[in-house]
Structure 1
């Protein structure tokens, strides 16, 4: 993540530009949010959720611009504290808390169980140049799995003032726990379900984190038997770096169980998904995670059932780089477009619902939705459009 204040016309530092990226660029980022504490003249304090303008979510950096002022009065009073939260498509979070008075920046990094097994909070305090002066404070964070079933955060901070850069790595081994069961995939890959553990959400956002059976039992309705059945009836295995995803057959024809595997160990499982039968594609989302980015205030839909309908019965499907777009015409002047992370033709993860200029922030036509894709991508391919004779 990197951020800096900006000026617009004659107004002094009225905006904060925030950029974030994952290993594969902007496509890894689901959302950036900012909270700010303003206290003009020391007698009218207020925490505010900053207004946001999304500039670009393609290419290398996911770029947003926030209102840096006291939005009650549109004054030029700068906030005393700014908290920026970046969430990736797997629910991992990075939080930057910048205290302008003390000139101190705190970094908080937390793993989401959907993406990795770590559950500890990483905190790093750096005396860096205070936000809102002259220059940039840059923060780089790497989250991932390393050899031996260990996860690590690598945090680096730097400022344009001193040129100093500090790197810290926080290894977080997955604690060994007893096994709840071991099964083999049809290809002979041995998979173990550990008893695991559940941890308090280090970000205080109300979402528990953890791994293994204890976490799966708390966050899904799956049973150990269903997990074993999914392994033994695996339809698809997708590798993404150190993480392996198994898409398994559920007990019914429509159920799909998605398992996240690290080194032969089941980290998480999810049955919250949609299945597009025409393209044989499973799209993962968790009701406690990603859908809140697709259904929050300002989005054209607010029901998980509508989200599933868009994915399972789209008017058109478009691939562009590492994204797949599902477009559904729901009625006159109402077209919904959902973007996903394209791991594989048979497996994607929900990113968000895009907003248009029609009623309730929907797109008015399929062509208008396509214009949005063309604005973001120079190269794309329509992979499913039955009305025009194109089928997966």
Structure 2
């Protein structure tokens, strides 16, 4: 009885399925729905065939260049057709798009001190070309405001960290800029300054060794001390006071260069060394003791421009965009260095004060004060090596770059709401 009941249930289920199938067939045949479905499939297939990139290239090859080559006995025509085929292949797809395999791969880059003056401008350039950038900064002299326009970008990351402590990251390039660079800042805590230069550089070199990253050290023209050779070339060993008030920075950078070269020779770390000369531009720290920022801030505040000594000591001033270009060329190049990166245009402090007067306030007064200890009398880079091996030289003249810095300082000193009133009062 149970067996016969199962057979009856299966028969009923089969009949119900047949009824549903017949209903579906009748629905498709009613009002020519089947015809519309078939027409839709045909249209979709035709559209896919016509607009598919690979099919487009195939049609171009078969209908145009190759047919010309088959139908024409002229060698010149065949050559033209062959060149057109090569052009299509080089394009990779319709519209001249670069094939995915040939697009530049974004690098993973860490910039220590990336929230600082130079570091933030470097970060801007790296982000603009599509790299994934990690900024490591303890904000002693750097500021979040310098990089906050990148917040929310998935390619940007900011880590509050002191390079004196080790850090583990997976990166391709390391730009090591972390260190206070102005006398006011590096003299504030000289022991911390030399630890940053030595221990911090050791930590970042160790990271470069572990992950196989290329390492760029931003050294300084201060490694030449108060030079006895003018202008300074990279082969000059310098004239540095090892126990002076500036030696925490001068000797610290010299030691950092030594460490970099030892890792290069002993551990095969790819190293690049840049010796940076005086640099100016937007985002400089106000009142940081450097002459350009001092003069600009003083002129804006209607204070006397303080010139130390007789004002005849010389410096060379490069705009920050020129420096960033040099650093990136050095990192991407094949030469270790060291390379002088600076503007060979030489100005005395009095000449600089006059340029600031012309730019901001012709009535600004100049005030002389006793010179500071171990202040170099001359500073001018010989950039022959950078010109020949990196194809680099500065492009922005002082009178072109200074107004851009003044605009930035005016906004920060007075605030946006007072900018127009200040501008009218100084003109």
* Higher alpha-carbon Rg: 2
The TM-score with structure 1 as length reference comes to 0.27
Q: Structure 2 length as normaliser, TM-score?
A: 0.25
Could you say which structure has the higher strand fraction?
1
| Higher RCO by CA contacts (8 Å cutoff, separation 6 or greater) | 2
